[in-house]
Structure 1
C-alpha cells in the first residue's frame, strides 16, 4: 500500500503539515498553493487521484485540504473509491474505509443538503487587511496578493487604500 500525502499551503500551519505527513509514514508528499477565488481547483490533487492505485491511501492532515465545500470532498472520496483507494484524515483521525467511512460520507451528505449552491463566501475582515499588508510589505504586487488570498483585485486595492488613509490621518 502506497501512502500519498497531500497538503494545500493556505497558512503557517500548512507548512508544518508537510513534516507531519512525512513523520506518519507517507511515501510521497505533494503540496500546492490553492488557485482562484474558490480555492477548489487543484491540479496536484487531481493528478494524485488519476495516479493513485488499488489499495493506496491518500493522507491529509485536515479535511479542508480536500476542498472548500462538502461537494468537493465527496467528489474526492468518490474518485478514490472508483480506484479502490481510500483517504485518511489525521485531524480528526478518520478514514473513508469501514464504519468511519460510512459516517464521514453521511455527515458530508447531510452538510451538502443544507449548503448553498456554489459554496459559502466568508468575509475575512481585519485578518484579510493584515495579510494584504504583510504581503505588500514583502514586495508582492496587488494582483498576486489577490490570487494568493482568493479575493478580487478591487478588494486588495480597497484594503490598501484604507491602510494608507489610516496612516495619513
Structure 2
C-alpha cells in the first residue's frame, strides 16, 4: 500500500510548503505538486499521473479537499476512479477517508462546499470588475506579449499563425496587435 500525496496551489505566488509538510507528516512516500486552477480536472498533469499509477490498496492523500478540486463532479469522478482501482482518498483536514461509507458522504458534502466557494469567488471577481469598469479604472489582464514583438515578427516574414504559436497567444491577439499598429499610423482627420 502506497500513500501518495497531492498538493496544489492556484498561482505561482502561493506557497506549497504547508501542504507538503502535512502530507509528509501523514506518511506520504511520494508527494506530487502542481500549480493550476482547481476549477476543473483538465490540464492537471500531476494529478493525472498519480491517477494512472494508483493501485489496489493505495491511498491518495490531500491536505484539504479544495486542493483536489473545486468541482463536485470532478471530485466525485476522482473518488469513483479510485474506487474502481480499489484505492482510497484521504483528506487530512478534516480527517476523512473514502474507505468507509460515512467518508464518502462527507467527501460529497465537502465537494459541494468547495464548488460553492468557487462560485462565490467568481461572483466577487465579477462584481469587482464591474465596479472597476464603472469607475473607469478597469484595464483588463496585462498583456502576455508586447505588441511590438508581434509586429516585428510579422514584418520579418513569419506567418501570423506561426507568431501566435511561437509566442503562446491566440491568432486574434496577433490580429489585434497588427490592427492597433495600423490605427496608430493612420493620418488624423
TM-score (norm 1): 0.62
Partner SS, residue 123 of structure 1 = helix
Q: Are the counterparts in 1 of residues 7 and 19 from structure 2 also a CA contact under 8 Å?
A: yes
**1:39 to partner: Cα distance:** 5.1
Q: Are the counterparts in 2 of residues 2 and 55 from structure 1 also a CA contact under 8 Å?
A: yes
**1:88 to partner: Cα distance:** 0.2
Q: Are the counterparts in 2 of residues 9 and 15 from structure 1 also a CA contact under 8 Å?
A: no
Report the aligned-residue RMSD. 3.1
In structure 2, distance between residues paired with 1:18 and 1:106: 24
Structure 2 gap ranges (5+):
130-141, 146-189
1:1-169 map, 5 Å = 1-10=1-10, 12=14, 14-34=16-36, 38=39, 40-41=41-42, 42-104=44-106, 107=109, 111=112, 120=119, 121-124=122-125, 125=128, 142-143=143-144
Q: Are the counterparts in 1 of residues 39 and 71 from structure 2 also a CA contact under 8 Å?
A: no
Structure possessing the higher radius of gyration over alpha carbons: 2
Q: Are the counterparts in 2 of residues 8 and 14 from structure 1 also a CA contact under 8 Å?
A: yes
Partner SS, residue 62 of structure 2 = strand
Structure 1 gap ranges (5+):
127-140, 145-169
Q: Are the counterparts in 1 of residues 76 and 108 from structure 2 also a CA contact under 8 Å?
A: no
In structure 2, distance between residues paired with 1:142 and 1:18: 33
> After TM superposition, which residue ranges in structure 1, 4 or more long, deviate above 4 angstroms?
none
Aligned length: 125
Partner SS, residue 88 of structure 1 = strand
In structure 1, distance between residues paired with 2:143 and 2:39: 18
Q: Are the counterparts in 2 of residues 17 and 61 from structure 1 also a CA contact under 8 Å?
A: yes
Where does residue 129 of structure 1 map in the other structure? none
